Amino acid sequence: MSEISFAQPMDDAMLADWQHVHNVIIPTGVLSLDEVRERAGRNHLEVAYLDGEPVGCTTVRPPSAGSPSTATVIARILPAHRRQGFGAQLYQRGLERAHALGATVIETVVLASNEDGLRFAAAHGFVEIDRYVLPGDTIAYIDLRLV
């Protein structure tokens, strides 16, 4: 049986793996490699690999001065690799990172068209706290909080 591994992107090739997963899951918010580099400077990013191929990624936005107890944990799994436990593993790793950064409140954000992501969030105790459409977009983002 193949085993999943996790890595924090340390070079452009790994950042491109994170970018690929993100852009497949969030087609309304496609990021360039420069934008991913910028995110890596302010957030904790991680890529999940199965047999050397990226299958998922996480973003942990640490608590900030404006919200010193809240971190955002986002786990993304490519559609072909869902319902195999990879999302739960990524999510758990993201939660551990958020708590290590001092977070006591955990939030996430899911694109409204991502029904699998919304089911996953609900199954893990998240409830909707906000819904919004970014300028120029037509699909809403849903902010959720772990209760």
What are the domain boundaries of the chain? 4-107
The span from the CA of 80 to the CA of 32, in Å, is 23
What pTM does this model have? 0.93
pLDDT < 50 stretches in the chain? none
* pLDDT for the residue 66: 86
For residue 131, the number of C-alpha atoms closer than 13 Å in the C-beta half-sphere is: 8
* pLDDT for the residue 1: 53
The CATH T-level fold of domain 4-107 is Aminopeptidase (3.40.630)
